Structure 1
Amino acid sequence: MALIEPQTSIKPHNLKFFTGDEYELAINQSIQSLLDSLQNPNPDLSGFTSKFLELMQVKPNPHPETIWILSSLTFLINSSRKDDVLDQVLAVKDLFQSITTCSASSSPSVCIALIAPVIYKLYSVVIDLKRKEVDLKLGKKARREIRSFVDVILGYFNVCCEGSNNDEEAGLIRPLNDLISIWVHSEGFENGSKQFFPLLSDEIVHWVTEESGDNLGLLAGAVIVEAFLLKLCLKFNDGSSKQELQNELRTWAVCSITGFHNFYVFDMLIKLLLEPNLPVMSLLSSEDESFLRKVLYDVVILPDFSFLCLDKVGHIPNSHIKNNVVARLMVTHEAIELLRKNKDYTKAISYTNAFLGSHLPTLITKLVASELGTNGNATQPKGSSPMAFIKWMLDLEDQGLNLTDGFFSKHRARLVHYRSSLDLDPQSSKLNAAGKTDDDLGFFIDNKGNDEDEKIDDSVNDVFVAAARSMQSGTNESGKKRKETHVGKKKGGVKFQRYNLVDHSGSKSGKKTGLLEKGDSRSESEVEDPDSDDNLE
């Protein structure tokens, strides 16, 4: 594959040894000069390659902007006349190879974030292949090449995530939108950031472009999510039955999220599920989009991923954790209500009890405790369903408690609608014909509500079956600890342990306590994803 090579040899003595401030100033000036040049009708980009090559070679650990721009310039110059779909795929592969080579000494988050242009161009090839009339044999070969390439990219992300230590990353010198404009300018897109991230919602695109300058881990999460969704979409129409496809997608998705052990990946998937439609409508029919949504509900609600526990998210800003708590409550409630309307009470019960057995109730109580401080007293939620917690939090907000930084307020009307619906339909918390409420029901996910080894019509994979069995072996809502089960040894597994609500005491200082306090780590039982490595394609 073609790597980025200098057009002329640059001798070591010609390289300027910058101080930190001089280096950033030189990058800033060069980027601005490039952006100004792009305003011309037919900009000449070839003159900038040597400049950014020199900037990249000055430091042993190149700044992300220099790699991003140099790879962009090289790709745009070399691939401008390639019309054949296989040549386009090859050009994107060359881009991926160039970026990974140049960023080899960078941190894991930087390595992943820099792949954003690769996903953008690969998505463009997929859309072109879908819209254009392509020879049947050529189209089949191209789709096979693309699927294989996406697997390579996701494998690279897995390797990067294994090496991630959650250290804070250096930010960008320039706004992300400036870097994006280098890619989308020549194609005449006005809303560049949304065009550049076609598989993210407007809300997430805004979040990423606003905050990733100081948090490249956020941009890395967005890139993983897009590759993740692209992989799932490419699995449709491959000849599998719906049941086979459902099981395959669900198993692969759980294994992948477990391997990434990335808070932002999970958080973005949750927030995408709050949208009226997943941002995949350009790739899937409305029927397939609905099918994928149901798969993702299972993936984000039924497992309890260990990397989301409090002691694993200390590097995440508290505001992001708070927003994620509210979003997860909303998604779980909406999924349960959808199942109720479709009269799928068995799975609705499994979702409710997956919520009960997760660490999420603990996160919610710590969230409220951190806002109340030492002098505040709060009533307990009347029930333990997601809706009971939402109603409780709304009532506390009505009393003047500020629970989140913007997200709760932004979706307040939607949350109030939930509460109104509950008031109109008091039976909504009773998901079982026998009249048991969510507090009385055991966790089960098969259609008969037991743990026998029978064929599950509305099945989930072995990960969820193991979860159901381990949780059923415990006790009810009395507060006793459930029986613990261990399967597998892989770090960052999926946890299905019941968490007791804890008694939070305030600090003596009288100040509000944070969500994360030292010594908050717990020794917790884990049910790992069985044979997870074998399930990754």
Structure 2
Amino acid sequence: MALIEPQNPVNLQNLKFFKRDEYELTINQSIQSLLNSLQNPNPDLSVFTSTFLKLMQAKPNPLLETIWIFSGLTFQINNSLNDDLLGELSAVKDLFQSITACSDACSPSICIALIAPVIFKLHRLAVDSKKKNVDSKRGKKANREIRSLLDVILGYFNVCCDQSNGDDDSGLVRPLKDLVSIWVHGEKTENGAAFNGLKQFFPLFSDEIIDCVTEESAGVVGLLAGAVILEAFLLKLCLKFSDGSSRHELQNELRSWAVCSITGFHNFYFFDMLVNMLLEPNLTVMSLLSSEDESFLRKLLYDVVILPDYSFLNLEKVGHLSNNHIKNNILSRLTVTHEAIELFRKNKDHMKAISYANAFSGSHLPTLITKLVTSELGSRGSESQLKGSSPAAFLKWMLDLEDQGLNLCDGFMSKHRERLVGYSSRMDLDQPSSEKTDNSLLFFIDNKGNDDDDDENINDSMNDVFVAAAREMQSGKKRKESKKKKDGAKFQRYNLLGSRSVGEFDNDDSDSASEVEDPDSDEDRE
């Protein structure tokens, strides 16, 4: 196909010999020409197809933008008149295969990030299926195939994460909203309004998470990859609610699957965004779930985020990330844990609240928080002392330090101050452990010994652990011997005189080892 010179002023014949900055300039100009064309009532997208095909093939490791836009152009052209649910699903399958083939030489983060349009289309199909033919034979077949494709995608993400040597810190040639334009162009909302923008492209995300992904100037590819994993993760969870399983069965199955998946992905950005979602008043899943189901999912995610002690969050594993990301994640996890405890105490579910408190005490978090705060205090370390060992005690400690002028983590405490101060009047600073906790909820996981030789066994071992935990919950067996009370978190003596960044902290696992009990062990059999 001949190129239109006014729209494509750059000579594409010698792209292979371009330097990287020249290559990026060419891509930038071509994208701008495409965006200008999209302003026309009936743009001819086909004139740009060969341009982006050449841009994509010009380098052995093509940039994300070239694959993203080429796949978007070909999808729009070939499937513009497809209005059948199963036909659209078949097109989305082809899209997934096409993107994975084109990105074979790309970094793992780029490979994952490029699947964002596939998840966007799958979500639309899931919503349409729910509204239209949910009870028809074709509707049920579509639901099965949507979930089957989603499982394939999640498996692909697992492979990519296994191959990753660290988060991709590369940026984009153009803002993400420009890349999204090609995928939402021509779409309409239910009321007939123009369907465009990041909010429509990422329907399962809050505005805050979308801002997090789009506002970063560097490292946006790694963030986008984490966001795409989270989208697929949430979509999988939401679609399981249509199975007709009982709440008890659903809780056991989804909780086990979610923890195994998080462990397999071992992706910091994905987990960080998941935690931050729980700081929002509501999960953005109402397009697929009822308000009752949303509340159930939130409580399930509290279990998934709080109870396991994921080793991929250890400082030694995240040292390549920025200090602000690490610090904010630590404080987000602390805040979510505190709010979950408060929620279940308010609902009179003291067993669950105590399980969360025990999980916190037995995790790495208390030591990490102490190191974080004392590094900020420096020589002022004696100014304020921690009183208690619960999440509430840590939050009260940090609020007091903020009142004394300490700015923790670029204003994290200030940002959430209103909600935290609202709790402070009823903060129980030393929530005690109890012997009467639900032992099946104590999902402490210790993966820090996973060497390369053990990687192939991780999924099987994790599944075994959670199948055992699920059995215990179903059987309702009473323990013959009560567990020993957990001590409060053991804090290392730390040098308060030298201010050190969190990224430089030594990681000491000696007092944070965690374990999962086997419900079928001899000492537990009646």
CA offsets, 1:391-438, max 9 Å, x none? 11000000011111233222111111111333xxxxx46xxxxxxx53
8 Å Cα contact 1:366-1:504 kept in structure 2: yes
8 Å Cα contact 1:353-1:442 kept in structure 2: no
Aligned equivalent of 2:431, options 433, 438, 443: 438
Residue in 2 aligned with 1:32? 32
Work out whether 1:516 is the aligned partner of 2:503: yes
User: Residue 275 of structure 1: SS of its match in structure 2?
Assistant: coil
Quick one: structure 1 residues 378 and 358, their matched pair in 2 at CA, closer, same or farther if it must change by over 3 Å?
farther
Work out whether 1:359 is the aligned partner of 2:367: no
8 Å Cα contact 1:110-1:216 kept in structure 2: yes
CA offsets, 1:343-380, max 9 Å, x none? 11111111111111111111111110221124543433
Q: How far did residue 217 of structure 1 move?
A: 1.1
Residue in 1 aligned with 2:494? 504
CA offsets, 1:280-334, max 9 Å, x none? 1110111111111111111111111111111111122111122112221221111
Residue in 1 aligned with 2:401? 396
Quick one: structure 1 residues 519 and 349, their matched pair in 2 at CA, closer, same or farther if it must change by over 3 Å?
closer
Alignment of 1:234-249 (within 5 A): 234-249=239-254
Q: How far did residue 75 of structure 1 move?
A: 0.7
Question: 1: CA distance between counterparts of 2:313 and 2:441?
Answer: 31
CA offsets, 1:428-483, max 9 Å, x none? 46xxxxxxx5345458424999xxxxxxxxxx8645999xx9xx8667436xxxxx
Residue in 1 aligned with 2:450? none
Quick one: structure 1 residues 131 and 94, their matched pair in 2 at CA, closer, same or farther if it must change by over 3 Å?
same
Residue in 2 aligned with 1:89? 89
Residue in 2 aligned with 1:342? 347
CA offsets, 1:152-192, max 9 Å, x none? 00000000011111154321111111111121232254661
Residue in 2 aligned with 1:68? 68
Q: How far did residue 268 of structure 1 move?
A: 1.1
More off after superposition, 394-403 vs 328-337: 328-337
CA offsets, 1:198-247, max 9 Å, x none? 11111101111111753311111100001000000111121211111110
Quick one: structure 1 residues 19 and 355, their matched pair in 2 at CA, closer, same or farther if it must change by over 3 Å?
same
Quick one: structure 1 residues 529 and 255, their matched pair in 2 at CA, closer, same or farther if it must change by over 3 Å?
farther
Counterpart of 1:35 in structure 2: which amino acid?
Answer: L
Residue in 2 aligned with 1:117? 117
Residue in 2 aligned with 1:150? 150
8 Å Cα contact 1:193-1:209 kept in structure 2: no
CA offsets, 1:72-116, max 9 Å, x none? 111111111111100111111111111111111111111111111
Quick one: structure 1 residues 18 and 200, their matched pair in 2 at CA, closer, same or farther if it must change by over 3 Å?
same
CA offsets, 1:242-277, max 9 Å, x none? 111110000000000010111111111111111121
Counterpart of 1:140 in structure 2: which amino acid?
Answer: K
Question: 1: CA distance between counterparts of 2:505 and 2:329?
Answer: 21
Q: TM-score, normalised on structure 2?
A: 0.84
Residue in 1 aligned with 2:270? 265
8 Å Cα contact 1:445-1:465 kept in structure 2: no
Work out whether 1:305 is the aligned partner of 2:334: no
Counterpart of 2:96 in structure 1: which amino acid?
Answer: F
More off after superposition, 164-173 vs 399-408: 164-173
8 Å Cα contact 2:214-2:220 kept in structure 1: no
Alignment of 1:178-257 (within 5 A): 178-187=178-187, 189=194, 192-211=197-216, 214-257=219-262
Alignment of 1:287-436 (within 5 A): 287-422=292-427, 428=428
8 Å Cα contact 2:27-2:66 kept in structure 1: yes
Question: 2: CA distance between counterparts of 1:519 and 1:246?
Answer: 37
8 Å Cα contact 2:309-2:514 kept in structure 1: no
Quick one: structure 1 residues 448 and 396, their matched pair in 2 at CA, closer, same or farther if it must change by over 3 Å?
closer
Counterpart of 1:69 in structure 2: which amino acid?
Answer: I
Quick one: structure 1 residues 309 and 72, their matched pair in 2 at CA, closer, same or farther if it must change by over 3 Å?
same
Quick one: structure 1 residues 216 and 406, their matched pair in 2 at CA, closer, same or farther if it must change by over 3 Å?
farther
Residue in 2 aligned with 1:286? 291
User: Residue 61 of structure 1: SS of its match in structure 2?
Assistant: coil
8 Å Cα contact 1:53-1:70 kept in structure 2: yes
Residue in 2 aligned with 1:3? none
Question: 1: CA distance between counterparts of 2:2 and 2:89?
Answer: 24
User: Residue 366 of structure 1: SS of its match in structure 2?
Assistant: helix
Question: 2: CA distance between counterparts of 1:224 and 1:445?
Answer: 31
Q: TM-score, normalised on structure 1?
A: 0.82
Question: 2: CA distance between counterparts of 1:178 and 1:308?
Answer: 33
Quick one: structure 1 residues 406 and 96, their matched pair in 2 at CA, closer, same or farther if it must change by over 3 Å?
farther
Quick one: structure 1 residues 362 and 447, their matched pair in 2 at CA, closer, same or farther if it must change by over 3 Å?
closer
Q: How far did residue 66 of structure 1 move?
A: 0.4
Alignment of 1:40-55 (within 5 A): 40-55=40-55
- Give the number of aligned pairs: 475
User: Residue 243 of structure 1: SS of its match in structure 2?
Assistant: helix
Counterpart of 1:180 in structure 2: which amino acid?
Answer: V
More off after superposition, 114-123 vs 127-136: 127-136
Which residues of structure 2 form unaligned runs of 5+?
A: 4-11, 189-193, 443-465, 473-478, 519-526
8 Å Cα contact 1:52-1:66 kept in structure 2: yes
CA offsets, 1:49-83, max 9 Å, x none? 10111111111000111011101111111111111
User: Residue 105 of structure 1: SS of its match in structure 2?
Assistant: coil
Q: How far did residue 24 of structure 1 move?
A: 0.8
Question: 2: CA distance between counterparts of 1:373 and 1:442?
Answer: 38
8 Å Cα contact 1:273-1:331 kept in structure 2: yes
Work out whether 1:477 is the aligned partner of 2:487: yes
Quick one: structure 1 residues 474 and 103, their matched pair in 2 at CA, closer, same or farther if it must change by over 3 Å?
farther
Residue in 2 aligned with 1:176? 176
Question: 2: CA distance between counterparts of 1:169 and 1:128?
Answer: 36
More off after superposition, 148-157 vs 135-144: 135-144
8 Å Cα contact 2:275-2:336 kept in structure 1: yes
Question: 2: CA distance between counterparts of 1:392 and 1:183?
Answer: 47
Work out whether 1:277 is the aligned partner of 2:267: no
User: Residue 241 of structure 2: SS of its match in structure 1?
Assistant: coil
Which residues of structure 1 form unaligned runs of 5+?
A: 1-5, 423-427, 430-436, 450-459, 479-498, 531-537
Counterpart of 1:379 in structure 2: which amino acid?
Answer: S
Residue in 1 aligned with 2:98? 98
